[in-house]
Chain A
Amino acid sequence: MHANVFDRYRFGTSLIHRLDPRVKVVVTLLFIVSNVLLPDGAWPGFVLALVWVLLVTRAAGLPWDFALRRSFVALPFALVAVTTLFSLPGDPVVAFRLGSWSLQINDAGLLRFISILIRTLLSVMMAILLAATTPFPDMLHALRHLRLPSLLVAVIGFMYRYLFVLTDEVIRLLRARAARSGQLPGHKAGGTVLWRARVTGYMAGQLFVRSFERSERVYQAMLARGYRGHMYTLNPHVMGRQDWLLAALAVAALTLIQLAGRLSFLR
């Protein structure tokens, strides 16, 4: 298998695909900030935010459940938030016994837990849409023009390029290890944990040395084409009228989400 499956970009020519990557990066960050600012149980705000995600998905020409299906990567982490269920003071909703423990879920805890999950899923969905509609090189241009240290951007660019080469190498290493991990009937296979760790550590060392030597060759290839310590780039992106318009629209929508989120507390 080739590591290309790592690539999360979905080719397209939609409105969202064509949007300036700077706008996409900044709006995504703002959307996430907005989610974090929504209070527990701000249902209208959460619903509007979900509508926003679905609208963006639609405008990007992706299947409506594209981001939703992929957003569950964040779920395992939610386990740590389970603890809030039992801890916040409030009226009990459910109480049950677990061995000698008696546990009690409070309404405030439940509200907090569900709100955390919703905030996370919404934020992850937006990040998924960003990655799916922005070719990574464009993302790099955005970071560069948003004044991240250019050394860091150059490093991220190199990393992206060699990610695929090196993950292919790891897959080959793991495959070679698996191919020789035989077992005879009646024999205990696999050696000790220490031995297995050492084998894996040697693989990491091997990979490190190979990567280091590759970086030496790449450096030579750069020198051969005139590299003298600076990375140059052309800027292919210019903010057009449509980019400004959509950015303004996004800020307006976020304002609406914030308002809606708090209107629900009207009594």
Chain B
Amino acid sequence: MPVIHPMPSPSAPSSGNGKDPALVVEHLHFAYPDGHVALRDVSLVVNHGEKVALVGPNGAGKSTLMLHLNGILQGQGVVRIGGLEITKVNLPLIRTRVGLVFQNPDDQLFSPTVFEDVAFGPLHMGLPEAEVRRRVAAALAEVGMSDYGPRLSHHLSMGEKKRIAIATVLAMAPDILVLDEPSAGLDPRGRRQLIQLLRTLPLTMLVSTHDMAMVRELFPRMIIMDEGRVVADGPTERLFEDVSLLERHGLERP
């Protein structure tokens, strides 16, 4: 593995054709090797342009579900991204379509500099250098951190790291953004900036969170998970009115 400079690839994957929903999960079941069952018969559909919140107590299976959407974990059942079923063969394509942002940005940002981290995805897609640079610049601009390219990742604040983490997947031009607890660990200003960013990004989104105020502010639709199951799925305002439902699953109305 000498220094590999990227070769141009025939074409970047196109975005969804609009007919199929952005994301379909059907009867997904998953158990960890130690026997712990994390997902039980999970089914859900997310349409193009929808912004959906995924809530539920710790251990409900939210993060496990998210790892399935990118094919990192593969359970029994079907996951389709824009009509494309996740299989071993099309994993590389799936990973350009689903932008998965992990909860801890220190896990997500593994390169010494911000530029290298944001360029990681596009470089792996085999894009030519000029296109990689264009995408990195665009992604950093989109999260409002244009000047941060040469900065060292470990010098960033938590809020900055979270936004760079989002930029690392935006640079891959995904169809759907999957975020795991994006507002956790942020100070009020960092959280406000993040909400502003999520509001302006014109992408289909599935976001897991405990931040119910953010859910009310940003997400018209909410899915509640508990013990590996989807227990409720509907308009956020309507579910918030069902106090006993919220209480049963350890949630609070904002």
A191 to B169, CA, bound (A): 51
* B106-A224 in contact (CB<8A): no
User: Given A4, A214, A222, which contacts B154 in the complex, CB threshold below 8 Å?
Assistant: A4
* A226-B110 in contact (CB<8A): no
Contacts A217-B102, A232-B6, A233-B3; is A225 near B112 (CB within 8 Å)?
A: no
* B3-A221 in contact (CB<8A): no
B142 to chain A, nearest CB (A): 17
B100 at the interface (CB under 8 A from A): yes
Contacts A140-B112, A144-B3, A150-B2; is A234 near B129 (CB within 8 Å)?
A: yes
User: Given B5, B104, B172, which contacts A234 in the complex, CB threshold below 8 Å?
Assistant: B5
A206 at the interface (CB under 8 A from B): no
Contacts A136-B112, A233-B116; is A151 near B1 (CB within 8 Å)?
A: yes
- 8 Å CB interface, B138-163 against A: 150, 152-155
User: Given A137, A151, A224, A233, which contacts B95 in the complex, CB threshold below 8 Å?
Assistant: A224
User: Given A150, A160, A218, which contacts B3 in the complex, CB threshold below 8 Å?
Assistant: A150
Closest Cβ neighbor of B3 among chain A residues: A144
A220 to B101, CA, bound (A): 11
B23 to chain A, nearest CB (A): 15
How many chain-A residues does the 8 Å CB contact rule pick out? 36
Query: How big is chain B's contact interface, by range?
Result: 35 or more
* A233-B67 in contact (CB<8A): no
Chain A interface mostly: helix
User: Given A4, A7, A221, which contacts B110 in the complex, CB threshold below 8 Å?
Assistant: A221
Closest Cβ neighbor of B169 among chain A residues: A225
A171 to chain B, nearest CB (A): 14
A145 at the interface (CB under 8 A from B): yes
Residues on the B chain within 8 Å of A224, using CB: 70, 72, 95, 98, 100, 102, 169
Given contacts A137-B112, A162-B106, 18 further A-B contacts (CB under 8 A): A4-B154, A4-B155, A164-B154, A218-B110, A220-B72, A221-B102, A222-B120, A224-B100, A225-B95, A225-B172, A226-B95, A226-B172, A228-B124, A230-B4, A232-B5, A233-B116, A233-B123, A235-B5
27 of the cross-chain contacts (CB-CB < 8 Å) are A4-B155, A137-B112, A150-B1, A150-B3, A158-B110, A161-B109, A161-B111, A162-B110, A217-B102, A217-B107, A218-B110, A224-B95, A224-B100, A224-B102, A224-B169, A225-B121, A225-B124, A225-B168, A225-B169, A227-B120, A228-B124, A231-B1, A232-B5, A233-B123, A234-B5, A234-B133, A235-B3
